[in-house]
Each structure stands twice: as C-alpha cells, then as structure tokens.
C-alpha cells in the first residue's frame, strides 16, 4: 500500500471509470486496477463493484468508508509536507485582525525585537473569520482572533487572553454623546454605520437587534474601521464597535450598552492542536500568552 494507491482510488470513486482515472494520472489502466486490488487485499474488503456488462463502477460501503479516511490521510500528508518545508525557513505565520493588531501588537513588538523574533514574523492581516479558516487549513501557525464570546473549535488550541465590551460610538457633537449608558432598544430611531460581515461585530450586533425587537437602520457598511469612525465623526450615523478600537484622538464618544447578558469581544491565541511548534514558535507563543 502506498499513498499513490489512495490517490488512484479517490479519483476512481469520482470518475467511476478506470480509463479516465488512468488518463488523469498518465498511467496505464492496469496500474489503476492493480492499485485497487492492493487496497482490497490490504483491507480485506471489496471496495469497487465492477459491472462489466454496463461498463459501470460502483463503490461499496467499505469503499465509501475508505474514501472518507483516504481524503483525510492525503490532506494530512500534504499539510505535513508543507509544514516541514515551511519550518526550514524558520518563519512564523501570524494572523492579526486590524482592531486587535492596533491594540495588541504595539505592546508585544518590543519583546519580539528583544527576543530576535521580529525578522521571523510573517504577518497576515484579515478579519477574524478569514484568519480562522487559514488556521484550520494550515496556512497560518498562529492567530490572535476576536469573537463575540468564547471561541470553541475542537481541533484548535484556544487560549483566551482578554475581553472588552461592545459600545455605541457617536461624534462628540451628537446629543447621544451626553449619555454614559443606553439600552440598545433606545436606539430604534438612530442611523447606524456598521462593519461588514467579515468582522465578528456582525454577530454581536445581530444579538442586540434580536433582543431589542427592531431592525436597525444601517445606512452604510464598511470593512475599514478607520472609515467607519470618520463617518461617525461626520454624523453620518452612530457606530457599533468594541471599545478596543477607540483611541483618544478619534474625537468620538463611547456610550456603554446596558443590555443584560450581552456578548463581549474576546481575544484568543489560536493554533491547530496537531501543529508541532519549532523553538521559535514556542518562544513566540510564550510572549503572546504573557500579554
């Protein structure tokens, strides 16, 4: 048995044709036949049903079971090849959403420089949802992810390192800026500027909407946090952000939301459980966890 046998078998379950599968790999048809026979002998089960009269091929229950596992095996082998090659570069692929990056990264940058890790860091900036997928696919070694509550993924190691509330932001001239706190239901007549669905804010915003039983008047959505804040300053509408994204020089007012049991913005260090860390990655992980 070898990995090529699995590749032939998976292709055959898709094409249902020995000739087409052979053409796909530029090999002879007997090569495919022999590979399937090897697998059937190894697993002591019939995997393929050959109907020579109708030139049809079926996959047995055992074959379907093997196909499911073979797909995972081949994916894991490909991932192993990629990560072994990547580890030779001594680089660290690090996913960083813009809001967390602006708040968190400046705090750890001096430590990374002191540890000699800054030149090894390859930072990828994107929304948390996109970075989560890249972690799962093996395209990133680490990510700092935001979520609207505790992040739970069975195949990932997740260490929550911080939380922050979601707040309403207004221009300093908006009458709402005079309030310290507000219930979301009181905002039914307001216009909103919100972040796009690539941000975890969308799920939290939907929670407040559902609890308050009104559909907010969203006049603009953007994937640019700075643009959102500028539009709020210009009184296009009020905004919905984690207070981590608000700086003193933004000229914005932050109004606390008082709705009970509301979601909070959580920050977590995330990596795959099966990712074996290089010494540099272990050091990097320690610096992240300490902050």
Average pLDDT over residues 204-219: 94
Q: Is the pLDDT of residue 54 over 70?
A: no
Task: Please give the sequence-ordered ranges of beta strands (E in DSSP) within the chain, or none if there are none.
Answer: 48-51, 56-59, 92-96, 121-125, 142-147, 156-164, 166-171, 181-182, 191-195, 217-222, 238-242, 252-257, 265-272
Average pLDDT over residues 101-114: 90
Please tell me the distance from the alpha carbon of residue 18 to that of residue 16, in angstroms, as a whole number: 7
Query: Which domains, from first to last, does the chain contain?
Result: 3-78 (1.10.10.10), 92-160+267-289 (3.40.190.10), 166-263 (3.40.190.10)
Quick one: DSSP state of residue 276? P
Closest CA to 168 of 228, 127, 126, 89: 228
Q: Is the pLDDT of residue 55 over 70?
A: no
Which pLDDT band holds residue 197 (cuts at 50, 70, 90)? confident
Using a 10 angstrom Cβ sphere, with 0-12 exposed, 13-18 middle and 19 or more buried, the burial of residue 160 is: middle
Record the pTM. 0.72
Q: Report the DSSP beta bridge partners of residue 124.
A: 95
The mean of the pLDDT values for the chain is 91
**What is the reported pLDDT for 193?**
97
Closest CA to 93 of 125, 127, 50: 125
DSSP string, 50-109: EETTTTEEEE-HHHHHHHHHHHHHHHHHHHHHHHHHHHTTT-EEEEE-HHHHHHHHHHHH
| 217-222 vs 191-195, strand pairing mode | parallel
What pLDDT digit, counting tens, does each position of 25-44 carry?
A: 999 999 999 999 999 999 99
| Contacts with 42 (C-beta within 8 Å, 6 or more apart), sequence order | 1
Please tell me the distance from the alpha carbon of residue 97 to that of residue 123, in angstroms, as a whole number: 10
Structure tokens at 174: 């908006």
- How large is the angle between the packed helices 29-43 and 3-15, nearest 10 degrees? 110
Please tell me the distance from the alpha carbon of residue 147 to that of residue 151, in angstroms, as a whole number: 6
Average pLDDT over residues 99-126: 91
How far, CA to CA in Å, does 262 sit from each of 15, 146, 196, 218, 234?
51, 16, 20, 20, 28
**What is the reported pLDDT for 183?**
96
> Are 277 and 198 a contacting pair, CB within 8 Å?
no
């Amino acid at each position: 048995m070898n990995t090529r046998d699995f590749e032939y078998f998976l292709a055959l379950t898709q094409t249902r044709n020995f000739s087409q599968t052979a053409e796909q790999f530029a090999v002879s048809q007997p090569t495919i036949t022999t590979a399937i026979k090897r697998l059937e002998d190894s697993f002591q089960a019939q995997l393929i049903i050959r109907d020579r009269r109708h030139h049809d091929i079926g996959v047995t229950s055992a074959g379907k079971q093997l196909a499911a596992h073979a797909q995972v095996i081949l994916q894991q082998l490909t991932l192993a090849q990629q990560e072994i090659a990547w580890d030779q570069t001594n680089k660290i692929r690090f996913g960083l959403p813009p809001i967390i990056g602006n708040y968190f990264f400046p705090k750890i940058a001096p430590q990374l420089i002191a540890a000699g890790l800054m030149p090894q860091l390859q930072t990828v900036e994107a929304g948390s949802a996109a970075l989560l997928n890249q972690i799962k696919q093996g395209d990133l070694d680490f990510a700092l992810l935001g979520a609207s509550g505790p992040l739970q993924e069975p195949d990932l190691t997740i260490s929550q390192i911080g939380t922050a509330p979601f707040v309403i932001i207004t221009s300093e001239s908006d009458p709402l800026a005079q309030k310290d706190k507000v219930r979301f239901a009181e905002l039914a007549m307001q216009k909103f500027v919100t972040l796009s669905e690539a941000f975890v804010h969308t799920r939290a915003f939907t929670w407040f909407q559902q609890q308050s039983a009104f559909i907010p008047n969203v006049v603009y959505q953007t994937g640019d946090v700075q643009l959102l804040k500028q539009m709020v300053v210009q009184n296009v509408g009020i905004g919905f952000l984690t207070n981590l994204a608000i700086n003193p020089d933004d000229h914005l007012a932050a109004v606390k939301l008082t709705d009970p049991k509301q979601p909070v913005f959580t920050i977590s260090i995330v990596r795959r459980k099966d990712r074996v860390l290089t010494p540099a990655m272990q050091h990097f992980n320690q610096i992240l966890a300490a902050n």
